[in-house]
Amino acid sequence: MSCHACVVSNLQFEIMVEGEPNLSIYPEVVQHMERNGELVRAEGNALVVSETGMRDFLDFCYDHMDSDKVLFRLDEGKWRLLSESEEVLESQWIDEVIRKEQVTCHAQPILDAEGDTYAHEMLARFYREDGTMIYPGEIFGAAKKRDRLYALDRICRMAAVRAASFTDKKVFINFIPTSIYSPEFCLRSTTMLADRLGVHPDRLVFEVVETEKVEDTDHLKRILAFYKEKGFRYALDDVGEGYSTLDLLSELQPHYMKLDMQYVQGVAQSEKKQQTALAFLDEAIKLGSVPLAEGIEVEEDFEWLKEKGYMLFQGYLFGRPAPIGTLERQN
C-alpha cells in the first residue's frame, strides 16, 4: 500500500474544460503544455498538469477562455472553482515547512487534584527559518488547501513523541482524524518511533481534535481501536453538550474526556455551565473515563470543579505552554 500524502512531492492539477468556446481552443492548450513539458496526461476534456503548468494555464485561461467553465481538483478530490487554485499555488510554502520539519513542541502542564503534574499536553509551534513564528491557523489553512493535512499532522505527532523523552509523565498528543487515511499504515511510523525511543505506550495519550466536528465515526473508531491495540491511551477533546458527542462517548469508551473550556470558564458563577459540567462528569464516571477540565484561568473555577469530583485540570492558571527544553525531566 502506498499513500501520496506520506511524501510531499510536487502537486498535479487535474483540469476539466467545459463550454464550446473553451473546447474549441482546448487542443491547442494540450499541445502547448506538452511542448513545454508541463502536461502529465490528457483524456477527453480533462488534462493533468504540473504545478508550473497550472500557473501557465491560469495566465492563458484568464486571457483567452471562460474561466467560469473550468474546474480543477487535486488527487481525484472534489472539483473546485478555478479561482481557488490560486490559493493552492500561493500556499506552496507549506511544503518547505513540512519537508524541513520546521516544528517544535511547547508543553502545557495537566495537574491532578493535589496540584501535582500528571501529564503535559504537547502543542505544535511552527517557525520560519528566520525564527519568526507561523501561527497555527495559517499553517493548517495552507495545509488544507494543498491536501497536506496528513503530512503536517504526521510531523506534529512525531515531534510530540520525541518530546515525550523530556518528561517521565504522560504526554497528550493532538491528532486530526480526517488526516489519517488508514490507521495501520499511516500510524506505523508513530508506533515505531515510540518503540525506538523507549517511550512506553501507556504514557502517550492521543487526543482527538474537535470531537464535536467528527463526521465519519466509523473511521474514528478504527483509529482509536488501533491505538488501543498498541497499548496507547486516547482522549476526546472539546466535549460539550452536543447530542452527537454524547452519542459517541458510549461507543468510543475514551480513557480521558476533556470538558470544553466554554463550560469551564466561569463555571463557578454560571448555573447553566454547572449543569453541563455535572452532566459531563456523570457521563465520564459512567464510562470509566477520567474527567479533565481545560481552559481554567481563575482559582474559583478550579475549586468548584475539584469539589464536584473532576480529577485533572489544565489552563493558564497552572502554566502556559513553554518550550519542552524547560522541562528537563523536572518532574
Provide the pairing of β-strand 133-134 with 70-74: unpaired
What pLDDT sits at residue 325? 67
Q: Which of 225-234, 244-253, 314-323 has the highest mean pLDDT?
A: 314-323
CB atoms within 10 A of CB 15: 25
What pLDDT sits at residue 245? 60
What average pLDDT is seen over the chain? 88
**Average pLDDT value for residue range 283-308:** 96
Residue 56 pLDDT more than 70?
A: yes
More confident residue, 276 or 251: 276
Residue 185 pLDDT more than 90?
A: no
Nearest to 43 by CA among 54, 60, 30: 30
Task: Give the model's confidence band at 217: pLDDT under 50 very low, under 70 low, under 90 confident, else very high.
Answer: confident
Report the C-alpha gap between 315 and 100 in whole angstroms: 31
Residue 218 pLDDT more than 80?
A: yes
**Average pLDDT value for residue range 85-101:** 93
- In contact, 205 and 255? CB cutoff 8 Å: yes
Domains in the chain: ranges and CATH: 4-90 (3.30.70), 103-326 (3.20.20.450)
Taking only the tens place, the pLDDT of each residue in 147-183 is: 888 889 889 999 999 999 888 999 999 988 877 777 7
Question: All 3 cell numbers of residue 70?
Answer: 473550468
What pLDDT sits at residue 74? 92
Residue 247 pLDDT more than 50?
A: yes
Residue 61 pLDDT more than 70?
A: yes
Residue 291 pLDDT more than 50?
A: yes
Amino acid letter for position 282: D
**Average pLDDT value for residue range 110-117:** 96
Residue owning grid cell 490560486: 86
Task: Give the model's confidence band at 329: pLDDT under 50 very low, under 70 low, under 90 confident, else very high.
Answer: very low
What pLDDT sits at residue 249? 76
**Average pLDDT value for residue range 240-255:** 70
The reported pTM is: 0.84
Residue 326 pLDDT more than 70?
A: no
What pLDDT sits at residue 55? 94
**Average pLDDT value for residue range 293-302:** 97
Q: Exposed, middle or buried: residue 138 (CB in 10 Å: 0-12, 13-18, 19+)?
A: middle
Residue 207, beta-bridge partner list: 174, 235
Residue 3 pLDDT more than 70?
A: no
- Angle made by CA atoms 235, 241, 245, in degrees to the nearest 5: 50
Residue 242 pLDDT more than 80?
A: no
Provide the pairing of β-strand 12-17 with 70-74: antiparallel
- In contact, 284 and 276? CB cutoff 8 Å: no
Determine what percent of the chain is predicted with pLDDT higher than 70: 91
What pLDDT sits at residue 37? 93
Query: For the ranges 107-111, 210-214, 308-312, 318-322, which has the lowest average pLDDT?
Result: 210-214
Question: All 3 cell numbers of residue 28?
Answer: 491547442
